[in-house]
Amino acid sequence: MTALILLTIRELRAKLIIVGLFAVATFVWLMLTFALNLDIVDGTLAGMRIFGQETALEQQVEVEDPETGEVRTETLRPFGENPLENLVISVQQGVAGITFWVVLLLGLFATGSLVASMMERGQVDLLLSKPVARSTLLGGRLLGVGAVVAALVVYVLGAVWLVISIKSGIWNGSFLIGVAVVLTMFAVLYGIVTLVSVWTESTALAMIVALGLIVASLVLSAPDEAVLQINRPWREIYVGLYYLFPKFPAATAMTWTLAGGEPVENWVPFLTSLAFGAACYAGAFALFQRKDF
């Protein structure tokens, strides 16, 4: 198994995919890190700049009393009474949400061809000639992909968390929980890539289906008020598809919530997404086991 994982990583490195992944990741975290400049005096936020633009910590607004008509000046604090901590957590939540989609799409385009390429003539014949079970071959391939994407997520989120924590002095450990959510949802998406690749041996079709699944999840994430406007029986079909397919927008919101240290009220979207991914992997392993090469 270890040899198969290392073989996958070496293949990615030979194609310069690993170099490209980490170059893009470095650009992303450098941009996110240096876009925010904090002026901290004695542990208190004195000022901040986002992309070089000064952002006001307080705003003076005039408010008219509806009863007396008297106009008075009030001070608004967009980041609350504890602006430094609230700002750091807000930035980290934003980074977690952006990283979710960056890793999902970047990882998909970088590794989407690996399962189909493993079944090309010559390579699959060589692998099957070894005294290794077919489930081990496919599992090693998938673990190799998972290892590279896990390193990418830890690299991006870990570096951003470390830099922001050092600059602000606020160490929000909840932000790192987002690593697990991002990796899990990538694994769910890669489940459909694996199933289609094993079934059809077509990288293009696997990528099209995976991207279609992302689009479908966006379409199926309409708010409840909009769903109630759909006529029967299409409403039941819409709701059924919502629970059937992975829910990437809901997972993004969950990543945001967990990064802020807040409890998640509804785990159903995440758990049903896991069930979809598990079903895809079960189908892929069953097909690969019986496939005639």
Prediction pTM value: 0.82
Band of residue 286 on the pLDDT scale cut at 50, 70, 90 = very high
| Mean of pLDDT values over 30-55 | 65
Output the pLDDT for position 78. 62
pLDDT confidence tier of residue 156, bands split at 50, 70 and 90: confident
Q: Would the pLDDT of 142 be above 70? A: yes
Asked if pLDDT for residue 86 goes beyond 90, the answer is no
- pLDDT > 80? residue 238: yes
Task: Look at 73 and 46; give whichever has higher pLDDT.
Answer: 73
> Residue 3: pLDDT above 80?
no
Q: For residue 277, which of 207, 197, 193, 219 has the smallest C-alpha distance?
A: 193
Whether residue 116 is predicted with pLDDT greater than 80 in this model: the reply is yes
Say which residue, 212 or 31, is predicted with more confidence: 212
pLDDT at 76 over 80: no
Indicate if the pLDDT at residue 41 is higher than 70: no
Q: What is the mean pLDDT of residues 264-275?
A: 92
